[in-house]
């Protein structure tokens, strides 16, 4: 079945540091890939997505490239801010029996300190 | 649009009581998902509706859990009887799916505490 593996946190960085959160996946079909972010006390919200191989999703300075050859979708940001402190979820969406099936990773908590 | 609306935001109940969580999806969305989030197990999909029909309920923990979607604008998740291990944050999400590239929109969640 489908699965998503992402690094366990917490990840603690100083402001303006470079961020990488690794995500790899296993899927039987041709999934779409997502990064969601969850701020304290809130629900998840979409950060970026990519729907086919070599696509790059980007938003708010975050980027991730859909790498089919390495089955990866690593999240990167060149300079993190305190406001980026949150939990980040990698997810894939595949078709199962004609319907959307979404699989989430365990989430990686990011803490950015001033 | 107001986004996905969930009620109540917080619920504290005693073991053995019935609990009903409510969700109003975004207008026009035809897919609805119920998730449970805990520290130990992370985010778990409980049930998925498409066009008000349950498509996948394999994540529903046991018979104490039931979910309904009587129309396109309302869904409930019921736990009867509740147990302390049901304590978690329950999220409802909707999408304009079922295509695989569809984004899910999450509600703010209901924090359930069963004592």
Q: What is the DSSP letter of B30?
A: -
Which tens digit of pLDDT belongs to each residue from B11-28?
A: 999 999 999 999 999 999
Can you tell me whether residue B42 is helix, strand or coil? strand
Give the pLDDT score at A7: 86
- B102 pLDDT band (50/70/90 cuts)? confident
Give the pLDDT score at B77: 98
- B39 pLDDT band (50/70/90 cuts)? confident
Give the pLDDT score at B1: 65
Shortest CA distance from A30: residue in chain B: B100
Give the pLDDT score at A36: 97
Which tens digit of pLDDT belongs to each residue from B51-89?
A: 999 998 989 988 999 999 999 999 999 999 999 999 999
Give A80-84's long-range contacts (Cβ < 8 A, gap of 24+). A80/A13, A80/A15, A80/A16, A80/A17, A80/A18, A80/A19, A80/A110, A80/A112, A81/A15, A81/A16, A81/A112, A82/A15, A82/A112, A82/A113, A82/A114, A83/A112, A84/A19, A84/A110, A84/A112
- B98 pLDDT band (50/70/90 cuts)? low
Q: How far apart are the first and last CA of chain B?
A: 36
CB < 8 Å to A48, chain B: none
pLDDT one digit per residue (tens) for chain A, 114 residues: 889 999 888 999 999 999 999 999 999 878 999 999 999 989 999 999 999 999 999 999 999 999 999 999 999 999 999 999 999 999 999 877 667 788 899 999 999 999
Bond from prior residue into B81 cis (ω within 30 degrees of 0): yes
Q: Could you tell me which residues of chain A have a Cβ less than 8 Å from any Cβ in chain B?
A: 30-32, 34, 36, 41-46, 49, 51, 89, 93-96, 98-102, 104-107
Residue B99 reports pLDDT greater than 80: no
Inter-chain CB proximity B97 and A99 less than 8 Å: yes
Q: What is the DSSP letter of B15?
A: T
Shortest CA distance from A42: residue in chain B: B108
Q: In angstroms, rounded to a whole number, what is the distance separating the alpha carbons of residues B22 and B58?
A: 20
Q: In angstroms, rounded to a whole number, what is the distance separating the alpha carbons of residues B29 and B94?
A: 6
Give the pLDDT score at A49: 95
**Burial (0-12, 13-18, 19+ Cβ within 10 Å), B64:** middle
């Amino acid at each position: 079945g489908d699965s998503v593996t992402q690094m366990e946190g917490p990840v603690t960085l100083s402001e303006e540091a470079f961020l990488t959160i690794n995500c790899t996946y296993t899927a039987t079909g041709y999934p779409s890939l997502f990064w969601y972010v969850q701020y304290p006390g809130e629900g998840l919200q979409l950060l970026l997505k990519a729907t086919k191989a070599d696509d790059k999703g980007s938003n708010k300075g975050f980027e991730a490239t859909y790498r089919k050859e390495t089955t990866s979708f690593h999240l990167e940001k060149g300079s993190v801010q305190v406001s980026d402190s949150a939990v980040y979820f990698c997810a894939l969406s595949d078709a199962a029996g004609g319907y959307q099936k979404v699989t989430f990773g365990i989430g990686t908590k990011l803490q950015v300190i001033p | 649009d107001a986004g996905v609306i969930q009620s109540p935001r917080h619920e504290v109940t005693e073991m053995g009581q019935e609990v009903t969580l409510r969700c109003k999806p975004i207008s026009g969305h035809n897919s609805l998902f119920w998730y449970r989030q805990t520290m130990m197990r992370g985010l778990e999909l409980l049930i998925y509706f498409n066009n008000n029909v349950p498509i996948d309920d394999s994540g529903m923990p046991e018979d104490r859990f039931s979910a309904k979607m009587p129309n396109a604008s309302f869904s409930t998740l019921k736990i009867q009887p509740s147990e302390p291990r049901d304590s978690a944050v329950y999220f409802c999400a909707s999408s304009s799916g079922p295509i695989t590239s569809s984004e899910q929109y999450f509600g703010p969640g209901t924090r359930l505490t069963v004592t």
